[in-house]
Amino acid sequence: DEIDTPVTVTLRVVDDVPVLDAQKPSDTLTVEDEEFTPATDETTDATPDYTKSMVGDFRDNVDWGADDFGQVTRVVFTPEEGAPVELDMRGSSLTVYFAQDGSYQGTDATAAAASLEVTSGGTYTFTLLKNMLISGDGEQMDTLPGTVSVYGEDKDGDEIDTPVTVTLRVVDDVP
């Protein structure tokens, strides 16, 4: 039998949004300056031993939901003093540099002591280019001043509300 009366059907789709993983809201990338003079490599170092370059993966810090990871959208560098610097990343990669005292240099590689490359695909690489001069004499763990915040979106364009914070550290060794 046929029905002559129209039927209305309502479909509701709930679009989930990416959410920062409360168990892993940040990443720490640690490098060591003794890699420039391998003879100073102590046997008491961390296991595995720190190197002059470390890779992290932004995608591990967010529950992307049903839409999966799309891309890194922006990186915000907030220095200890001064205004934040926001860099749009949609569809590209960027490399920024840091001076020997750990200060942010932007995309200027002149006399840089470290670099941070962030890809739109979700990885970041912190590389020591030469020794850092942050804290003075003796061996210590130095954290580069300021904050690095990474934002991303899922495949249908929903951006995370809370960024992943990336801490950049250097084991400042002694000769």
pLDDT mean by block of 10 residues, the chain; 175 residues: 82 88 94 71 63 93 95 94 91 92 92 96 94 74 91 96 94 71
Contact 170, 33 (CB under 8 A): yes
> In the prediction, which pLDDT does 40 show?
60
Q: Count CB-CB contacts under 10 A for residue 46.
A: 9
Asked, as a colleague might, if the bond just before 163 is cis with ω within 30 of 0, I would say no
> In the prediction, which pLDDT does 132 show?
83
Q: Which residue has the tokens 């990871």?
A: 69
Distance between the two ends of the chain, CA-based, in angstroms? 91
Q: Which residue has the tokens 């129209």?
A: 6
